[in-house]
């Protein structure tokens, strides 16, 4: 949570209590231009640094972050609200992603094409883009940065990151640690301020070659429009409404566990999260009973409190949106199975808490079915078979993740082929692997992060024709 004070500073507040946890400068267009200038100046030197050396420096940065993991996790919990355990996982994920790309530094490759003509061969040369701007939201401030920072730096680009206005503190500290570990000046900078002012100044600066954006679909579209004016490269990682399908032959216990973690991790504020559940009619009662039992055990509390499993929502606005989505849905139909409101208890009153919520059979056109729900509320529907489940699952403008639970190989294969989403998990919790490309279909995004594929989005390839003089 963030508020502006008239001294040009933003006050960062703990979502569990509203207490101030830090202040950061509110940078504007002039600061953006200065940061881009430093990044542009640093670019030639970083590009010329041998790839193996770039990888080693980036790896040293990751190690420096890992050494401070507990301090960073505490900071992240204070500004974001998530339980400490999840904050530690997030910092560890950031480190793993950076290490993954540091390891790929020595594998950057172009191509050689022989005998194009007499005494003539071709080269496909791959080179960095230049200055990259990374715009990152507040739900996973560090991992969503890591997905951009790792490939960008390893390929030889320099990067200016703009964290969400309300979660800049951990990112600033990470940049400091990586600089101390050897990243040259200007190679990785963090600049703090409002998206609508600072973000736009960064995106529209003509010296910026690429914008890597994660956030909401409407802002992503706007950023892409701005970037298009300068024909800049863009990757977009936007909203999602991931369906999970549980068929009648599934391992119900494992599926229910994945649904619960997939929906309630990070208080439901994840782009990849189980946001719609379609269950075969033969197992729906069992799934509902087991889910209710799981939800009853989720302990709400401040992220920093021992034993907390579900922290507060990140901001008052997030909770208000969720409350509106749930109340609008219930007014149209559906049965409330759990939660549905703010928790009792004075110790939770100061924060943006909301109970874990299950809604059975809401109308298919209700808000929880058609909008992205960025909070701890899960709608559940009964389906008669895989065909109906896939049809329902695909009836969305989003296409980020999806999952299917079944022991039937044919059904699993069909679902993996037909689900309109950039990721499908079969009998697996929604875990993102650095090894696999990740990016949404439809309004969920453009381009890929993770995998070797991410490297393609931080390099330009050019063709070179070489004709030798006759001997
Ligand atoms: P936004 O898309 O508004 O913000 C994401 C990032 O973009 C932030 O750093 C923000 O800065 C920046 N930004 C905002 N406006 C501009 C602009 N005009 N030009 C450049 N950058 C800009 O997401 P919110 O944080 O407001 O969340 C709103 C909704 O988005 C959520 O309810 C959720 O549905 C979805 N969301 C999806 C995420 C995902 O991972 N798919 C992640 C986060 C949100 P600032 O914080 O300063 O406004």
- Whole-model pTM? 0.95
Q: Among this protein's residues, is 237 annotated catalytic? A: yes
Point out the ligand 1 atom lying closest to the alpha carbon of residue 226. Answer: 19
First-last CA distance in the chain = 71
Which residue of the set 237, 372, 420, 443 is catalytic? 237
Beta bridge partners, 460, equal 127
Q: Find, among 174, 191, 169, the residue nearest to 92 by Cα.
A: 174
- Residue 253 CB burial class (10 angstroms; 0-12, 13-18, ≥19): exposed
Is the predicted pLDDT of residue 8 greater than 90, yes or no? no
pLDDT at residue 414 greater than cutoff 80: yes
How far apart are the CA of 305 and the centre of ligand 1, in A?
28
Residue 350 scores a pLDDT above 90: no
> What stretch of H or E contains 459?
strand 459-467
pLDDT of residue 470: 87
pLDDT at 346: 72
Q: How far is Cα 396 from Cα 361, in angstroms, rounded to an integer?
A: 17
The candidate with the shortest Cα–Cα distance to 81, out of 7, 11, 161, 17, is 17
Residue 460 falls in the annotated catalytic set: no
Q: What is the pLDDT of residue 183?
A: 98
Q: Which tokens hold the place of 20?
A: 């101030």
Angle between helices 409-418 and 386-394 (to 10 degrees): 20
Question: How many Cβ atoms from other residues are within 10 Å of residue 56's Cβ?
Answer: 16
Question: What was the pLDDT predicted at 450?
Answer: 97
What does the DSSP 8-state code read for residue 322? H
Rounded CA separation 323/301 (Å): 19
Closest CA to 76 of 233, 289, 303: 303
CB 156 within 8 A of CB 47: yes
Ligand 1: list residues with CB < 6 Å. Answer: 135-139, 162, 164-165, 194-196, 199-200, 203, 214-216, 219, 222-223, 237-239, 271, 321, 372, 374
Instruction: Tell me the pLDDT tens digit for each residue of 389-403.
Output: 999 999 999 999 999
180-223 per-position pLDDT tens digit: 999 999 999 999 999 999 999 999 999 999 999 999 999 999 99
Question: CA Rg, the chain, in Å?
Answer: 23
pLDDT digit string (tens) for 427-450?
Answer: 999 999 999 999 999 999 999 999
d(CA 187, CA 206): 18
Q: Residue range 54-70: average pLDDT?
A: 98
Residue 1: the pLDDT is: 64
- Return the percentage of the chain with pLDDT > 90, whole number: 96
Helix (H) or strand (E) holding 405: strand 403-405
How far apart are the CA of 403 and the centre of ligand 1, in A? 25
Give the DSSP per-residue string, 353-389: ----EEEES--TTSHHHHS---SSEEEEEEESSHHHH
List, edge to edge, every strand of the sheet that includes 242-246.
335-338, 357-360, 377-383, 274-280, 242-246, 403-405, 425-426
For residues 62 and 112, is the Cβ–Cβ distance under 8 A? no
List, for residues 106-135, the tens digit of each pLDDT value. Answer: 999 999 999 999 999 999 999 999 999 999
Q: Could you tell me if 339 and 323 are in contact, meaning their C-beta atoms sit under 8 angstroms apart? A: no
Marked catalytic residue, from 271, 371, 443, 449: 271
Mean pLDDT, the chain, rounded, equals: 96
Task: Choose which residue among 133, 137, 140, 171 to substitute to test ligand 1 binding: the one with the highest number of ligand atoms within 8 A of its C-beta.
Answer: 137
Is 249 a residue whose pLDDT tops 70? yes
Over 70: is that where the pLDDT of 4 sits? no
Q: Categorize the per-residue pLDDT at 306 as very low, low, confident or very high, splitting at 50, 70 and 90.
A: confident
For ligand 1, atom 11, which residue shows the shortest CA distance?
A: 195
Q: Which helix (H) or strand (E) holds 224?
A: helix 217-229
């Amino acid at each position: 949570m963030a508020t502006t004070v008239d001294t040009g500073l933003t006050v960062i507040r703990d979502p569990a209590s509203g207490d101030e946890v830090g202040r950061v400068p509110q940078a504007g267009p002039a600061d953006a231009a200065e940061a881009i200038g430093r990044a542009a100046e640093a670019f030639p030197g970083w590009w010329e640094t041998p790839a193996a050396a770039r990888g080693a420096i980036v790896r040293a940065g990751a190690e420096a972050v890992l050494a401070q993991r507990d301090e960073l996790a505490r900071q992240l919990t204070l500004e974001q609200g998530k339980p400490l355990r999840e904050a530690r996982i997030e910092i560890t994920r950031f480190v793993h992603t950076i290490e993954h790309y540091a390891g790929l530094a020595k594998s950057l490759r172009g191509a050689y094409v022989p005998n194009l003509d007499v005494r003539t061969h071709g080269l496909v040369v791959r080179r960095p883009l230049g200055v990259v701007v990374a715009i990152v939201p507040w739900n996973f401030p560090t991992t969503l940065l890591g997905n951009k920072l790792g490939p960008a730096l390893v390929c030889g680009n320099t990067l200016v990151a703009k964290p969400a206005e309300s979660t800049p503190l951990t990112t600033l500290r990470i940049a400091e640690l990586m600089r101390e570990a050897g990243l040259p000046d200007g190679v990785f900078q963090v600049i703090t301020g409002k998206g609508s002012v600072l973000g736009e100044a960064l995106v529209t600066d003509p010296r910026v070659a690429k914008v890597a954006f994660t956030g909401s679909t409407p802002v992503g579209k706007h950023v892409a429009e701005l970037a298009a004016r300068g024909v800049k490269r863009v990757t977009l990682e936007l909203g999602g409404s991931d369906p999970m399908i549980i068929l009648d032959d599934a391992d119900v216990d494992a599926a229910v566990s994945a649904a619960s973690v997939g929906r309630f991790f990070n208080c439901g504020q994840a782009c990849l999260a189980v946001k719609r559940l379609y269950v075969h009619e033969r197992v729906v009662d069992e799934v509902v009973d087991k889910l209710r039992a799981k939800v009853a055990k989720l302990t709400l509390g401040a992220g920093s409190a021992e034993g907390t499993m579900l922290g507060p929502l990140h901001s008052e606005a997030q909770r208000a949106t969720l409350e509106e989505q749930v109340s609008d849905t219930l007014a149209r139909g559906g049965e409330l199975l759990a939660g549905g409101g703010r928790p009792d208890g004075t110790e939770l009153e100061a924060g943006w808490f909301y109970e874990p919520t299950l809604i059975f059979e809401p109308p298919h056109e209700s808000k929880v079915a058609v909008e992205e729900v960025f909070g701890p509320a899960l709608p559940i529907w009964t389906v008669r078979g895989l065909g109906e489940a896939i049809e329902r699952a695909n009836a969305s403008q989003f296409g980020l993740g999806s999952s299917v639970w079944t022991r039937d190989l044919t059904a699993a294969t069909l679902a993996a082929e037909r689900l309109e989403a950039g990721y499908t998990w079969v009998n697996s919790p929604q875990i993102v692997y650095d090894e696999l490309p990740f990016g949404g279909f439809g309004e969920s995004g453009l381009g890929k992060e993770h995998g070797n594929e991410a490297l393609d989005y931080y390099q330009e390839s050019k063709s070179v024709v070489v004709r030798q003089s006759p001997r």
